[in-house]
Structure 1
């Protein structure tokens, strides 16, 4: 299992570190947030989550950006070039309410057909929590501040702005569920 995480980090670093250093910093921060969830996940789930966390934005890599929709581009790359684990690929494809953004881009059918959402809501929520509580520079933040930052960066009328406004209730609910699971753990 540990080999999967080492492999994931290597792939993400190769694709992002030089071409998109800020995106790489964010990916590292998201993976670091995954470590915080060890108390509420099994070891195999932690490895899967940390692998998905470090790879979730790999589709932004310029050489991989074929549709311009990074969850789909990244998942296709992981599936086709690396024959990656199906659950890992599906987490990357569907991270942080990607179906809603896919809909805004006219790609929902393709995303759903190729990469159905995982049935394990805890893992889906966990990746949302990791991504949406990490700044673009890889630092911890609140989901509310992250959504506000995304809106400010892309603009309310952009595809991403429309998506994030639609997705924010779902994002905030996922973050609350993970926060509640963490709070229920003994100190």
Structure 2
């Protein structure tokens, strides 16, 4: 699939995710749920960033796809794949660092490899992480704590995710707190 970066938007992101993570796989349901959640959150970010947020949500887990997998660390593998397609660095970086991936990358010994993708500290990054962390494996709403427990159960107590949890959990809870505050302000502003 040859894609021009300037033409890449929500629809192409969804289509690429559908090709790489086809339904009815559990990963597809999660991805579609995260994209739907990102659409709900989009009003909290600047107008010019809304499509970027939703596109990143569709693409955040493509690194799990067999044809994309390289290191076995899905945020990095997905970002590298998108980078090879020539997609914008901001999009690839959001995919690389979604949900505090840098903490797990360090635990896996991949911190240096992640340096190719700048960490974005922004409302868009927070919204993507919040969307991912508030949608469970089957696309249903989850609390951040339930999602962390699910992840730890899925990966196991000796996993890099478990080793990174002490540093990552406060980050994820901080993102949730920031986003919930922003959402309260957006809701008040809409009244």
Question: Aligning the two structures, in what range does the TM-score lie when normalised by the shorter sequence?
Answer: over 0.9
Aligned to 2:43: 39
Tell whether the 8 Å contact from 1:2 to 1:47 is kept in structure 2 after alignment: no
Aligned to 1:68: 72
**TM-score normalised to structure 2 length:** 0.90
Give unmatched runs, 5+ long, in structure 2. Answer: 1-5
Aligned to 1:56: 60
1:77 maps to 2:81: yes
CA shift in 2, pair 1:160/1:57, >3 Å: same
Aligned to 2:21: 16
Equivalent of 2:117, from 115, 125, 139? 115
Tell whether the 8 Å contact from 2:30 to 2:138 is kept in structure 1 after alignment: yes
Select between 3-12 and 156-165 the one with higher mean Cα deviation.
156-165
CA shift in 2, pair 1:149/1:165, >3 Å: farther
**TM-score normalised to structure 1 length:** 0.92
Tell whether the 8 Å contact from 2:42 to 2:53 is kept in structure 1 after alignment: no
Tell whether the 8 Å contact from 1:150 to 1:164 is kept in structure 2 after alignment: no
Q: How far apart, in 2, do the equivalents of 1:127 and 1:163 lie?
A: 20
Q: How far apart, in 2, do the equivalents of 1:57 and 1:84 lie?
A: 16
Aligned to 1:92: 95
Structure 1 residue matching 2:55: 3-state secondary structure: helix
* C-alpha displacement of 1:63: 1.3
Structure 1 residue matching 2:119: 3-state secondary structure: coil
Give unmatched runs, 5+ long, in structure 1. Answer: none
Q: How far apart, in 2, do the equivalents of 1:159 and 1:21 lie?
A: 24
Runs (4 or more) in structure 1 with deviation over 2 Å come to 163-166
Aligned to 1:177: 178
Structure 2 residue matching 1:139: 3-state secondary structure: coil
* Paired positions, count: 183
